[in-house]
């Protein structure tokens, strides 16, 4: 082995390998309208499914009458829980071992829950039919607030569960409580802040949907569905339906954004499959926007109290956090089953902290189930928000510059691999380097001066500067630690080189817009010296791809990217023996040259051979010592996760009269180890920052006291537009992962994870001279104006 690609040295072999800005292969079909999404799938005889949803958040279903719907021309069936019970499909397991009704059996537990389904010849008739289904409800008192749900007189939502006498789901804790208490008692300074990470929704452009097609001739169920994890979904479908797994095919075609929303299985998929099975015709179910926001996996909804203990010089000694987590009506968080709070216990962040302790209580409420990893690795977003906000609170308490206080506490670059106080093994990092670069790019000192000037002059617009120096944790497995419903989180790649020298790479992960068809081809191009145009990447079809656990938590590059590199290296090993045969030399005398991408005889560089010539040799003149053909498979179980990081600096102008916040400067320095495609990374950063801004400034799923969703459509759930998004200045450092075959870490979610605290820190910073320590997200003008008013700064 030649040691793998080196940081920043691998650019420019010119074949589209590592570090080259290869244009996205998939864009040709997307920009010419040739994408193929679930709703584009049309099958002969296909029926359409529309779901009848509850207007109440908490109610007993007394009676369902579908007769008026059945009278409509074109309505084929009305399904209720009773019909599903006949096929043992009335309930389905969630990814956290709870049981959710597919169609409500007895009691509605959140508004818009699935009560019945109408199947019709076309979508309009199905919708008309759904409006004609009559449901009698006995309305019950709902509880939507997590604190109120724990009160003694709160209505019990999950009374059907044995031993469930209240709305409490679980308690979880991490770290060393006693040691942390000791550190806090002995500390010079302690600070405390309560903060909510509001309920938000991934809101992908494409909502969820499925086309289920039961073939009674082959006894085979094919489901085209919006899936971020087709293989895991195949296993679950088989387990729930009883159809043997080899007779289930899941196809996830082009997917219009997932962001964690398409990891769980939703009732609509199951209803479509059940209807197809019963009616023996293909059935399509496609969600509307409000159904997507109101019923599918939400994210966050953590009410957190953070505490930090430090010396008077601002050296952090201890961190404590207590969380109340609203999980909605079912425990349906999408995260590895051994981690009820996801990776929240990475809340010590980028800092070398002596002692830490975290506790969390999960609660049922009459709200939609969820807790998905929205562009994040299982609750790392909440953890990063907590610690990066607390560092700012401490800096203000001690009157130390927030950049300086970070510098005093960073895990030093020579301390890696580093084990955190809560047991995570960080692979590599150089936090100070990233911060220094960001400070320079942001012209930090200049803005600090300008901030002072505005305060002295009592200006109408205040300036705030916010920093976030976050650490991420991406690339789940290892399989022994991380699983979905018991399946270990490895991933896979299957590489086949054809006789004419081009190749097909099949991977176990499924892209939702991240550009895998390009970057995974680049990994193979780098490792085999092949031209990137000669490699095609296939994914998303369980009949043809190797088993994988799917794309979420930025795990594709750390896990399947590693599998692709290892599979390519296996092919390269075999290629060496074929090269020896072709060049009539001993195998020990053959050397692979990464620069030229060719094999040559040691000491005789002109006696060389390309991978295309080797491919021909593999099929037309294979050495007797080898099997014919040129292919390899790798199932990769990562030894550890990867820990990308970055420093973001945000400068905002806060209008004291209106509470409006304008972005003056937005600097993002990221480090994802060795970079495969800088242009795709740039796109990932831009998109993620936009979603971070959305979280900080605009988005929230809200409920009234009756459990009505008041932020459940795009009129009320404020998605950002180009107008709200500023210019970004991006930069990078490169700290390779020591255990990843190509030194790469994930990157897709860093900006969404890292930017909200930088933005909130900036708004708080504009008012901290007047004593403000926190402003809640989303920081709409009214929220900011209230904070200004409280600080005596409003005009």
The residues binding ligand CDP (CB under 6 A) are 514-516, 519, 551, 554-557, 672-677, 680-681, 684, 744-748
Residue number with CB closer to ligand CDP (184 or 343)? 343
Residue 592 C-beta: closest distance to ligand CDP, Å: 23
Backbone phi and psi for residue 237, each to the nearest 5 degrees, phi listed first: -60, -45
Q: Is 387 helix (H, G, I), strand (E, B) or coil?
A: helix
Residue 740 C-beta: closest distance to ligand CDP, Å: 9
Question: What b/e sequence results for 227-254 when a residue is b if at least 16 CB atoms lie within 10 Å of its CB, and e otherwise?
Answer: bbbbbbbbbbbbebbebeeeebbbbbbb
Distance of CA 482 to the CA centre of its chain: 15
> Which residues does the annotation mark as catalytic?
228, 375-376, 749
Q: How far apart are CA 780 and CA 720, in angstroms?
A: 12
Residue 19 C-beta: closest distance to ligand CDP, Å: 9
Q: How far apart are CA 648 and CA 666, in angstroms?
A: 7
Residue number with CB closer to ligand CDP (128 or 491)? 491
Residue number with CB closer to ligand CDP (273 or 476)? 476
Residue number with CB closer to ligand CDP (278 or 689)? 689
Q: Is 668 helix (H, G, I), strand (E, B) or coil?
A: strand
Q: Is 175 helix (H, G, I), strand (E, B) or coil?
A: strand
Nearest to 404 by CA among 436, 357, 362, 379: 436
Q: How far apart are CA 375 and CA 699, in angstroms?
A: 15
Q: Which two tokens stand for residue 527?
A: 């490792």
In the chain, DSSP finds a helix count (H) and a strand count (E) of 19, 32
Nearest to 467 by CA among 406, 519, 421: 406
Q: Is 183 helix (H, G, I), strand (E, B) or coil?
A: helix
Q: Which residues face 653 on adjacent strands?
A: 463, 662
Q: How far apart are CA 625 and CA 581, in angstroms?
A: 10
Residue 672 C-beta: closest distance to ligand CDP, Å: 4
Residue number with CB closer to ligand CDP (113 or 557)? 557
The sign of the CA dihedral 620, 621, 622, 625 is positive
Residue 523 C-beta: closest distance to ligand CDP, Å: 8
Q: How far apart are CA 665 and CA 759, in angstroms?
A: 11
Residue number with CB closer to ligand CDP (674 or 691)? 674
Q: How far apart are CA 423 and CA 409, in angstroms?
A: 18
Residue 748 C-beta: closest distance to ligand CDP, Å: 3
Residue number with CB closer to ligand CDP (391 or 474)? 474
Residue 396 C-beta: closest distance to ligand CDP, Å: 33
């Amino acid at each position: 082995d030649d040691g793998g690609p080196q940081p920043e040295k691998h650019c420019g072999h010119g074949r589209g390998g590592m570090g080259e800005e290869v244009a996205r292969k998939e864009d040709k079909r997307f920009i010419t309208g040739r994408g193929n999404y679930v709703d584009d799938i049309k099958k002969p005889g296909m029926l359409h499914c529309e779901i009848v949803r509850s207007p109440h958040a908490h109610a007993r279903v007394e009676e369902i009458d579908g007769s008026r719907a059945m009278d409509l021309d074109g309505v084929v069936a009305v399904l209720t829980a009773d019909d599903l019970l006949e096929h043992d499909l009335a309930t389905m397991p969630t990814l956290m071992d709870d049981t959710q009704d597919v169609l409500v059996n007895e009691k509605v537990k959140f508004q818009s829950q699935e009560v019945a389904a109408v199947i019709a010849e076309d979508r309009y008739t199905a919708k008309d039919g759904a409006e004609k289904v009559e449901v009698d409800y006995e309305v019950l008192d709902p509880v939507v607030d997590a604190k109120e749900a724990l009160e003694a007189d709160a209505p019990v939502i999950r009374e059907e569960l044995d031993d469930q006498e209240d709305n409490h789901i679980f308690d979880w804790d991490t770290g060393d409580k006693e040691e942390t208490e000791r550190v806090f008692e002995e500390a010079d300074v302690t600070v405390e802040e309560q903060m909510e990470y509001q309920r938000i929704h991934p809101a992908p452009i494409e909502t969820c949907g499925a086309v289920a097609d039961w073939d009674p001739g082959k006894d085979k169920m094919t489901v085209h569905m919006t899936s971020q994890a087709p293989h895991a979904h195949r296993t679950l479908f088989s387990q729930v339906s009883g159809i043997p797994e080899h007779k289930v095919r899941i196809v996830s075609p082009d997917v219009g954004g997932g962001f964690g929303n398409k990891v769980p299985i939703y009732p609509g998929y199951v209803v479509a499959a059940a209807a197809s099975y019963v009616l023996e015709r293909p059935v399509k179910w496609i969600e509307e926007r409000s159904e997507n926001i109101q019923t599918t996996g939400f994210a966050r909804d953590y009410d957190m109290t953070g505490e930090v203990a430090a010396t008077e010089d601002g050296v952090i000694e201890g961190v404590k956090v207590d969380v109340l987590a609203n999980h909605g009506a079912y425990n349906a968080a999408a995260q590895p089953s051994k981690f009820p709070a996801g990776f929240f216990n990475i809340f010590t962040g980028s800092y070398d902290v002596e002692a830490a302790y975290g506790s969390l209580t999960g609660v049922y409420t009459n709200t939609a189930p969820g807790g998905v990893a929205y562009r994040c690795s299982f609750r790392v977003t909440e953890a990063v928000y907590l610690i990066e906000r607390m560092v700012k609170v401490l800096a203000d308490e001690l009157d130390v510059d927030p950049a300086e206080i970070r510098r005093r506490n960073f895990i030093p670059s020579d301390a890696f691999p580093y084990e955190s106080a809560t047991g995570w093994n960080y692979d590599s990092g150089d936090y100070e380097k990233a911060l220094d670069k960001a400070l320079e790019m942001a012209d930090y000192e200049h803005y600090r001066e300008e901030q002072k000037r505005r305060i002295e002059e009592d200006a109408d617009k205040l300036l705030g500067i916010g920093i976030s120096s976050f650490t991420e944790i991406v690339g789940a497995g290892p399989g022994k630690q991380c699983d979905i419903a018991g399946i270990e989180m490895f991933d896979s790649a299957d590489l086949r080189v054809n006789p004419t020298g081009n190749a097909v790479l099949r991977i176990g992960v499924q892209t939702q817009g991240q550009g895998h068809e390009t970057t995974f081809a680049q990994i193979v191009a780098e490792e085999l010296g092949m031209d990137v145009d000669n490699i095609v990447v296939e994914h998303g079809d369980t009949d043809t791809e190797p088993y994988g656990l799917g794309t979420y938590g930025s795990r594709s590059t750390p896990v399947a990217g590693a599998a692709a590199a290892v599979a390519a290296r296996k092919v390269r090993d075999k290629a060496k023996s074929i090269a020896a045969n072709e060049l009539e030399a001993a195998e020990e005398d053959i050397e692979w040259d990464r620069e030229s991408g060719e094999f040559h005889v040691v000491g005789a560089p002109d006696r060389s051979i390309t991978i295309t010539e080797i491919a021909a040799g593999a099929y037309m003149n294979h050495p007797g010592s080898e099997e014919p053909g040129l292919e390899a498979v790798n199932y990769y179980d990562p030894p550890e996760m990867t820990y990308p990081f970055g420093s973001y600096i945000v400068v905002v102008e806060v209008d004291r009269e209106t509470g409006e916040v304008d972005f003056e400067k937005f600097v993002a320095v990221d480090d994802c180890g060795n970079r495969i495609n800088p242009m795709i990374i740039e796109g990932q950063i831009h998109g993620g920052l936009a979603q971070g801004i959305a979280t900080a400034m605009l988005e929230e799923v809200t409920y009234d006291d009756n459990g009505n969703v008041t932020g459940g459509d795009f009129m009320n759930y404020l998605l950002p537009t180009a107008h709200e998004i500023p210019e970004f200045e991006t930069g990078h450092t490169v700290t390779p992962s020591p255990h990843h075959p190509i030194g790469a870490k994930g990157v897709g979610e860093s900006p969404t994870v890292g930017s909200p605290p930088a933005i909130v820190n900036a708004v708080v910073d504009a008012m901290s001279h007047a004593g403000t320590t926190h402003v809640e997200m989303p920081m709409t003008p009214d929220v900011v104006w209230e904070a200004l008013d409280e600080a005596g700064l409003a005009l």
